[in-house]
A and B are shown apart, each in its own frame.
Chain A
Amino acid sequence: MIAMEKKKKALSDIIIVGIGMTPVGEHWGKSIQELALDAITAARSDAAGLKPQALFVANMLAPYLSGQTQLAALLADFAGLRGIEAVTLEAAGASGGVALRQAYLALASGLIDTALVVGVEKVTDRSSAELEAALSTASDADHEAVHGITSTAQAAILMRRYIYENNMPADALAYFSINAHTNAATNPNAMYRRTIQIEDYTHASMVSEPVNMFDAAPIADGAAALFLVRDDGSPNMLPHPRVRIAASAAISTAVALHDRTDPLELFTSAESSKLTLQQAGLKHDDIDLFELHDQYSVYAALSLEAVGFAERGQGWRLALDGAISRGGRIPICTFGGSKARGDTGGATGVYQLAEATLQLQGRAGENQIANAKIAMVQCLGGAGATAATHILELVDGS
């Protein structure tokens, strides 16, 4: 452990120098490569036109919904980057985080100097039944999907058990959705910009009991990108401050929810976040905002518990008490999260990272968290079989 820490101090900082995002929505007029290009163009422009040596693509559904593998090569070529190193990373909903991790490892190794991470998902060309089947491939095919499980059914099973095990007010989980919608109202890239009230939640129709319409994030098209470099000591020439990756970790566990020792304990979320806090030498109090996995409201509660911002079974209280709001002690989903900004499958993790970067750079507009210096960003694959966690830190004096 000590030898590793010494080695870490000798590593140069890995810096996010540019970000780009498309709005999340039903982009009927755009193909997967056109969406990706929009985000890539924006990120490269934000990074003053730098060219990446390597492209790391985060995507889950292109092979299933678009009949396209080797997506990274396709996107590199389409983006005018023919000939560079390009690879696709897939870990279901954690693809974005693991793609950044691979870029981070490549840059930290010293063998790559500039990298572009792009997350993209195109879901609207296919029917909703096909999309449900595609999403179910993140579960255990032989032991979960074959029985007709869906990602919504998994969340419903967890939510029902969560309510059963904890003494909580009815509709306590509503406050995750209310917070998400409040934050999305001022995010021009968000899919849903209408704020909601508790009455909307209590009257919402069920999707898969007890998950109702406001417990479940919409999934739509979108792309987000990050431009990264290894710090070579030269001064920052960009108009915005730089953000460094202070820590990075990815963990996997049993894919099937039923194979977990305790399904309500998100082991991968807990382990990966613990590693990042150790790597960065930080405590929970140091974290100014937490972009977490909120594809379903119960995962937001469970993530807060797993990471240690709340005791076991108490995550819902942080939402009810307003601790998760922009003015609270641990703001989450600061641009609307998956619930209101919109979920983009394998690309969600990159949206989270781009949004956290904007927060630390002071470029979050009306969504700005005051004095944000350190952000924790975490995405989960499926029902938490994979977690990728990063801690981003504002580089002072940049």
Chain B
Amino acid sequence: MEASRHWRLKQERYTLMGEICPHCKEKIFPPRDFCPACGEDARNLFQFNGRGEVYSFTTVYQAPAGYEENAPYTIALVRLEEGPMLTAQLTDMGDETVEIGMPVEMVTRRLRSDGERGMLVYGYKFRPHLARAISA
């Protein structure tokens, strides 16, 4: 069930909290304590604004164990506005077709349920960011 593991990760998963490197100013997600860009210590928290764009995506039909209930789902690499990239499911697509470059915004959704008596795991997903798409 790994309750403590998911509890440790909830700040980054629910709020997209990352870090900013005090040395080179690189924005870091997820928090990791060493800056991947300059290698120095980086523990200052940074709040990402939740907006990004789709770098690439695919739709999963043959889901791994634990994710069959959600299938088919679309999963993407999303480039956050502030620089880092992350992996997340896309949601609330409606009739929209996903395209590379599509603007998206973060929402908090259920990622997985571990059976009837299992833990519900929540985290970030991304949905189309309509306001930006219209004004673009």
- Check A157/B57 contact, CB under 8 A, given A132-B62, A148-B64: yes
Q: Does A148 contact B58, Cβ atoms closer than 8 Å? A: no
Assess whether A95 is interfacial by the CB under 8 Å rule. no
Assess whether B60 is interfacial by the CB under 8 Å rule. yes
Q: Does B62 contact A157, Cβ atoms closer than 8 Å? A: no
Q: Does B87 contact A258, Cβ atoms closer than 8 Å? A: yes
Q: Select the residue from B62, B87, B88, B89 with max chain A CB neighbours within 10 A.
A: B87
Q: Does A129 contact B68, Cβ atoms closer than 8 Å? A: yes
B85-127 interface mask toward A, CB cutoff 8 Å, 1 = contact, 0 = none?
1111100000000001000000000011000000001010000
Q: Does A208 contact B77, Cβ atoms closer than 8 Å? A: no
Q: Does A143 contact B30, Cβ atoms closer than 8 Å? A: yes
Assess whether A146 is interfacial by the CB under 8 Å rule. yes
Give the contacting residue for B111; candidates A128, A148, A208; CB below 8 A: A148
Chain A residues contacting B87 (CB-CB under 8 Å) are 143-144, 147, 149, 256-258
Q: Does B59 contact A208, Cβ atoms closer than 8 Å? A: yes
Assess whether A254 is interfacial by the CB under 8 Å rule. yes
Q: Which of A85-93, A158-166, A284-292, A329-337 contacts B (4 or more CB under 8 A)?
A: A158-166
For residue A204, give the distance in angstroms from its CB to the closest CB of chain B: 14
Q: Does B64 contact A132, Cβ atoms closer than 8 Å? A: yes
Q: Does B57 contact A208, Cβ atoms closer than 8 Å? A: no
Q: Does B57 contact A160, Cβ atoms closer than 8 Å? A: yes
Closest to A210 in B: B58
Assess whether A179 is interfacial by the CB under 8 Å rule. no
CA gap between A259 and B102 in the complex, in Å: 20
For residue A192, give the distance in angstroms from its CB to the closest CB of chain B: 19
Q: Does A132 contact B63, Cβ atoms closer than 8 Å? A: yes
Q: Does A129 contact B77, Cβ atoms closer than 8 Å? A: no
CA gap between A145 and B84 in the complex, in Å: 18
CA gap between A207 and B77 in the complex, in Å: 19
Give the contacting residue for A161; candidates B36, B64, B100, B111; CB below 8 A: B100
Assess whether A352 is interfacial by the CB under 8 Å rule. no
Q: Does B100 contact A208, Cβ atoms closer than 8 Å? A: no
Assess whether A386 is interfacial by the CB under 8 Å rule. no
Assess whether A310 is interfacial by the CB under 8 Å rule. no
Assess whether A150 is interfacial by the CB under 8 Å rule. yes
CA gap between A379 and B58 in the complex, in Å: 25
Q: Select the residue from A149, A152, A161, A164 with max chain B CB neighbours within 10 A.
A: A149
Q: Does A258 contact B111, Cβ atoms closer than 8 Å? A: no
CA gap between A130 and B68 in the complex, in Å: 11
For residue A157, give the distance in angstroms from its CB to the closest CB of chain B: 4
Q: Does A211 contact B56, Cβ atoms closer than 8 Å? A: no
CA gap between A157 and B36 in the complex, in Å: 23
**Which residues of B come within 8 Å of A, CB atoms?**
5, 9, 30, 36, 55-68, 70, 73, 75-77, 84-89, 100, 111-112, 121, 123
- Additional pairs, 16, CB under 8 Å, beyond known A147-B88, A148-B89, A153-B58: A129-B63, A129-B65, A132-B64, A133-B66, A144-B87, A146-B111, A147-B75, A148-B70, A148-B111, A150-B60, A150-B63, A150-B64, A157-B56, A160-B58, A164-B56, A208-B60
Pick the 5 closest A-B CB pairs, nearest first.
A156-B58, A133-B64, A132-B64, A161-B56, A258-B85
Task: List 21 A-B pairs, Cβ < 8 Å.
Answer: A132-B64, A144-B87, A145-B64, A147-B87, A148-B70, A150-B60, A156-B58, A157-B57, A157-B76, A160-B56, A161-B55, A161-B56, A208-B59, A208-B61, A209-B59, A211-B58, A256-B87, A258-B86, A259-B85, A263-B55, A263-B56
